[in-house]
Amino acid sequence: MPTHIWLNGKLVPPAQASVSVFDHGLLYGDGVFEGIRCYNGRVLKLRTHLRRLFDSARAIRLEVPYSIDQLDQAVRDTLQANGIRNGYVRLCVTRGVGELGLNPFNCDNGVTFIIADHIQLYPRELYESGMRVVTAATVRNHAGALSPRIKSMNYLNNILAKIEAIDAGVPEAVMLNAQGYVAECTGDNIFIVRKWHGRDTLIAPPLHAGMLEGVTMNLVIELAAAQQLPFHQFDLTRHDLYTADEMFLTGTAAEIIPVTEVDRRPIGSGEPGPVTRELTAAFHELVGNDAPED
């Protein structure tokens, strides 16, 4: 439990970190957020996360009342105040207090808050043995209705798919878009590995499939390039997942976690594959030694 929350420019005890019941962030999910990791006191890709936050806010015409530099320092202050060198940060910006109608331009007193804590998204043993997932019946929000590249506070679409995963007795679910192509999981991006022209090749859905452009996803793509591992993005079906040699998920909270079964079908050998293990090792070496902050 954190001892301090950064709220509108001040570090306060959690009991004093309150948001009005009239805030449109609560009433309508009208706001944006970022989840951020720190390793050994270094905040992984902090500036990249902050730029994405501002892009999300700009897309929904939400004015962030602080600069990137100010929020950069605020994240560091919050981590220091809670004595966290290895942990997780949640940075949120709400539209603010408004009326019970939808008009966002009647809102004022927008709230910016930062929580620093520890997180363990999946049981540690699954990182070694791999995890089972299912395909959700809940379709990913249509990209023409709400861009998946906006990391908004409205996650009901993802939550409904997460409920399906829990009901199926697994930790995560694959979400398809309206055309039936693979988009992402409820909180993670998806990669598969297949032989392509005789070489192990990393493959992911394209952005237009309806996924959030993940910071950890892009970092893994960089690590793959450093290992001269070919990478492609194109539309994937469930059949592509079922017949993959390897599969893994990436996310800020999840890091890199192997998937060994989809819809009761084993992936590859049914165990985490060599490419997944190599990329995971490269990721942990990177963040353990000198996590890039930009």
Catalytic residues: 151
Give dist(CA 214, CA 100) in Å, integer: 33
Backbone angles phi and psi of 132, in degrees to 5: -95, 145
H helix count then E strand count, the chain: 8, 15
Instruction: Name the residue among 1, 27, 25, 19 with its Cα closest to residue 115.
Output: 1
> Residue type at 197?
H
Q: Which two tokens stand for residue 294?
A: 């930009």
- Render 206-255 in DSSP notation, one character per residue: -GGGT----HHHHHHHHHHHHTT--EEE----HHHHHT-SEEEEEETTTE
